[in-house]
Structure 1
Amino acid sequence: NLLDFTLTVRPPKGNREWITRLLDAGVWSLHVPQVDTPEIAQEVVNASLYAPDGLRGMAGVGNHTDYESGPAGETQRFLNEQLHLAIMFESQQAFDHIDEIMSVPGLHAVTLGPSDLAQELGVFGTPDQAKVIDDYRTRLIEAAGRHGLDVSMLVGSIEQGEQWIRAGAKIICYSSEVEILRQGIMEAAARLHAVK
């Protein structure tokens, strides 16, 4: 990988169809949205992992196996070990079930969808948004520590990333590819317009 880190994909929905489609295409890391209950978390694990850890459908040789074949059990074990599965807490309902959700075997990390959560809590766009969401981020970090899960934090600035790394986040999802591209174009345009 050119950037020396694994690219993570957020499926539009955390269902079997999207999860298996992405994994069969060769994705190794998922951030699954809207995991509000332990039952949904279990469905995500079942769709993501081969037996005995889950119920992922068999796909044969393809992108997901780097077009290599091998003994069935060995290949499935390898693919299960390669997968990094993070789930997103984006509702009050998810936080009401935080310990039960994090107890589901097969999860590696948890993250928080700050905008969706703020919207549901009625604080989106208000002066209280940052403090309220930071309180939920702290709750997420504390619960993840109890369950031995890593925390992934979605951040919009380097300073926010530094803040949450110090607080215990192990994975930082910085901005978005569109925003990074937009910032780069704006910087280039400003520099070129300034040339006299």
Structure 2
Amino acid sequence: MMLPPNAFKRGLAEGRSLIGYWCSLPGGIGAELLAGCGYDWLLFDTEHALTDVPDILPMLQAVAPYPVSPVVRPASNDPVLIKRLLDLGAQTLMIPYVQTAEEARAAVAAMRYAPRGIRGMAGMVRASRFGSVPDYARRAEEELCLIVQVETAEALARIDEIAAVDGVDALFIGPADLAASMGHSGDASHPEVRAAIEAAIKRIVAAGKPAGILTLSPEFAEACLGWGTTFTAVGMDLATLSTGARALARRFKG
């Protein structure tokens, strides 16, 4: 059996614009519904959601038949969490709150088997198709993709050194935490935050790495695409559900 290809990683390498959607709700049904909606990638979040590591397996299985790439965000830059998600078959991980090149290198090490890293060995895991992928341990790295989140003013100041870390495939800007670190909690649209995001996207691109972001504002998403984002998340399940349900209630209840 062949090592499954990572379409998301290939899309980044080709410089294609990849439009994504954020999944905060656990479970395979919602994931499968969204998998058929036309997005290039879906983010399964275990940092700010009820979704936990065991919940990721049915979500990965639900989207597998569809032409969409799952990206999984562990709760933290923790080698144990990273190892478990990789063993479940996640090929692209987004690591939150990476502040320094040292922290980026730690994430890279957690993604790689020895001698290049510290990922624990296990034979009967879904990632290797339960041992049926020849030389999985030697070749797994070829199809793994690591995204690190830069989401504070301090992290943005270190973009160049973080982007230069071998094994970091892309950098993702977290607008909400960035706004808070700049003294504008809850106001990611503040002009100072917007200017910092624009500058960060351009610096990431200049460093030779793909830049990503999440925004629920279509206008701001278009601006970010114009500044150079390669992978751009433009919606979230809870936000879409809330907006649609409230609009329907207003229509019929006045």
For the residue of structure 1 that corresponds to 2:89, the secondary structure is: coil
* 1:38 aligned partner: 101
* Distance (Å, rounded) in 2 between the aligned partners of 1:14 and 1:157: 28
Q: Which moved more, 1:86-95 or 1:33-42?
A: 86-95
Matches within 5 A, 1:51-130: 51=114, 53-72=116-135, 75-125=136-186, 129-130=189-190
1:186 Cα deviation after fit: 3.2
> Of Structure 1 and Structure 2, which has the larger fraction of its residues in helix?
1
Match of 2:49 in 1: none
What amino acid maps onto 1:66 in structure 2?
R
Distance in 1 of aligned mates of 2:144 and 2:243: 31
TM-score, normalization by structure 2: 0.67
- Aligned equivalent of 2:244: 184
| Residues 117-158 of structure 1: CA deviation (Å, up to 9, x unaligned) | 1111112246x9522222222222222223221111111122
Q: Structure 2 counterpart of 1:94, which letter?
A: A
Any conservation in 1 of the 2:73–2:94 contact (CA below 8 Å)?
yes
CA drift at 1:63: 1.9
- Counterpart check, 1:12 vs 2:72: no
Distance in 2, matches of 1:189 and 1:6, equals: 34
Checking the alignment, whether the CA contact within 8 Å between 2:112 and 2:141 is kept in structure 1 is yes
* Root-mean-square deviation (Å): 2.3
Unaligned runs of 5+ in 1: none
Cα separation, partners in 2 of 1:181 and 1:76, compared to 1, 3 Å? farther
User: Within the alignment, does 1:152 sit opposite 2:212 as a pair?
Assistant: yes
1:160 and 1:95 map into 2 onto residues whose CA distance is 19
SS at match of 1:122: coil
TM-score by length of 1: 0.84
Between the two proteins, the alignment pairs up a number of residues equal to 190
Higher RCO (C-alpha 8 Å, min separation 6)? 2
Percent identity, aligned pairs only, is 31
